[in-house]
């Protein structure tokens, strides 16, 4: 099967996935979550996350629920689509991107009530701010963070732990490399993949051995000779009062080469957080070199593909 990538590392590519890889991913997912169940499809099937909901349903022998995404993702629409799924016996699962999760937990309502009833809610496609994860879990949502890509048949590391059969290692440059039965055959019109797939992501292992993704290698900002991880700065900013979402990018600067810039979606656009306070939080947590020199407040972040923030469009907001 040919599946397109989201283009995180540049131009989108076409990944060739075997049926065996897709099924291995689905079976490993069910084994990790507690057995086959009924899935709610709330993502486009043009991307691997949505496609895998269909594969898991096929493997489980269950009919998935389908959410109408023609007019976009709405909490009320999710609640409506979830109702018949939750009425069926057995475990209930769904897969979302962080933006969808944020909309469901933003306020009390039928969307939040519905998502609380799922036995597992897979979150992937983009980095999820720790503050959003904490808010969702405090609200009673059974969130499972996933890491993976089209090249690995979707998520293959859940909550920092590889699925059965999946192997993870870090190269000398901290690049994450993955292997196992979920790996794709290769790219269309390209060389076949070897035993290990080298990703464009940087990672580290926590003290308890879990994989932590710290950002993409090509997103690193070099400002005045210092390497700044946008992900680390985003984690600090997302935890500040009044911040709903944030994206950090590097923009060209004649003196520094690049400077750190932050696009912030505030809880209240009419009363945004103090930029100086945001900068001070980054200084204290990461270092003075990582402080955003430019801050812009937006009503929402531009996204592409399955819900990933489009950093190139964000960067243009500082022009």
Tens digit of pLDDT for each residue in 223-240?
988 989 898 899 899 999
pLDDT band at 255 (very low <50, low <70, confident <90, very high): confident
CA distance 47 to 39: 16
Q: Look-up: residue for tokens 């043009």?
A: 46
Mean per-residue pLDDT for 234-247? 92
DSSP states along 4-39: E---TTSS--EEE--HHHHHHHHHHHHHHHTS--EE
Mean per-residue pLDDT for 148-169? 97
CA distance 109 to 128: 22
CA distance 296 to 284: 21
The three-class DSSP label of residue 179 is strand
Tell me, what's the pLDDT at 132? Answer: 86
Q: Look-up: residue for tokens 């691997």?
A: 48
Per-residue pLDDT at 9 exceeds 70: no
Q: What is the DSSP code (8-state) at residue 113?
A: H
Tell me, what's the pLDDT at 306? Answer: 62
Tokens of 222: 């070099």
291 vs 224, 234, 294, 313, CA distance in Å? Answer: 12, 11, 9, 21
Q: Which residues contact 131 (CB under 8 A, 6 or more apart)?
A: 238, 239, 243
Mean per-residue pLDDT for 168-180? 96
Tell me, what's the pLDDT at 303? Answer: 81
Are 26 and 56 in contact by the 8 Å Cβ rule? The answer is yes
CA distance 53 to 45: 8
Tell me, what's the pLDDT at 10? Answer: 56
Q: Which of 121-135, 277-291, 300-314 has the highest mean pLDDT?
A: 277-291
Tokens of 59: 């493997």
Task: Identify which has the larger pLDDT, 244 or 21.
Answer: 21
Are 118 and 140 in contact by the 8 Å Cβ rule? The answer is no
Mean per-residue pLDDT for 297-313? 83
**154 strand-pairing partners:** 149
Q: Counting every residue, how long is the chain?
A: 319
Are 305 and 13 in contact by the 8 Å Cβ rule? The answer is no
User: Residue 314's closest CA among 244, 263, 264?
Assistant: 263
CA distance 295 to 234: 12
Per-residue pLDDT at 58 exceeds 90: yes
Are 306 and 4 in contact by the 8 Å Cβ rule? The answer is no
Is pTM, for the whole model, over 0.85? Answer: no
The three-class DSSP label of residue 212 is strand
**Largest alpha-carbon pair distance within the chain?**
62
pLDDT band at 276 (very low <50, low <70, confident <90, very high): very high
Label residue 26 left, alpha or beta by phi (over 0 means left) and psi (-120 to 50 means alpha). alpha
Tokens of 265: 């979606």
**Where are the strands (E) in 26-71, listed by range?**
38-41, 65-66
Mean per-residue pLDDT for 198-227? 91
Tokens of 55: 């594969």
Tell me, what's the pLDDT at 108? Answer: 84
Mean per-residue pLDDT for 277-299? 95
Q: Within 13 Å and on the Cβ side, how many CA atoms surround 275?
A: 11
Per-residue pLDDT at 304 exceeds 80: no
Tell me, what's the pLDDT at 305? Answer: 65
CA distance 80 to 75: 9
The three-class DSSP label of residue 107 is coil
Tell me, what's the pLDDT at 78? Answer: 96
Percent of the chain with pLDDT over 70: 97
Per the prediction, the chain carries an average pLDDT of 92
């Amino acid at each position: 099967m040919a599946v397109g990538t989201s283009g995180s590392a540049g131009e989108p590519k076409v990944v060739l996935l075997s049926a065996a890889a897709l099924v291995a991913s689905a079976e490993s997912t069910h084994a990790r979550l507690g057995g086959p169940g009924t899935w709610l499809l709330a993502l486009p099937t043009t991307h691997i996350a949505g496609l895998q909901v269909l594969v898991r349903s096929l493997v489980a022998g269950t009919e998935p629920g389908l959410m109408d995404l023609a007019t976009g993702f709405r909490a009320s629409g999710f609640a409506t689509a979830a109702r018949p799924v939750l009425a069926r016996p057995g475990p209930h699962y769904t897969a979302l991107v962080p933006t969808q999760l944020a909309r469901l937990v933003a306020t009390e309502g039928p969307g939040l009530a519905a998502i609380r009833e799922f036995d597992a809610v897979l979150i992937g496609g983009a980095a999820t701010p720790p503050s959003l994860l904490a808010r969702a879990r405090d609200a009673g949502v059974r969130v499972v963070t996933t890491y993976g890509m089209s090249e690995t048949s979707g998520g293959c590391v859940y909550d920092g732990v590889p699925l059965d059969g999946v192997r993870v290692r870090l190269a000398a440059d901290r690049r994450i490399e993955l292997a196992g039965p979920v790996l794709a055959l290769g790219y269309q019109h390209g060389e076949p993949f070897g035993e290990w797939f080298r990703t464009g992501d940087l990672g580290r292992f926590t003290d308890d051995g879990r994989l932590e993704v710290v950002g993409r290698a090509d997103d690193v900002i070099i400002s005045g000779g210092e390497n700044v991880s946008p992900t680390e700065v985003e984690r600090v900013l997302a935890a500040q009062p009044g911040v709903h979402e944030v994206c950090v990018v590097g923009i060209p600067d004649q003196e520094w080469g690049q400077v750190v810039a932050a696009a912030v979606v505030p809880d209240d656009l009419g009363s945004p957080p103090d930029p100086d306070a945001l900068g001070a939080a980054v200084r204290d947590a990461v270092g003075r070199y990582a402080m955003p020199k430019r801050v812009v407040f937006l009503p929402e972040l531009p996204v592409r593909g399955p819900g990933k923030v489009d950093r190139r469009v964000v960067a243009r907001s500082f022009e």
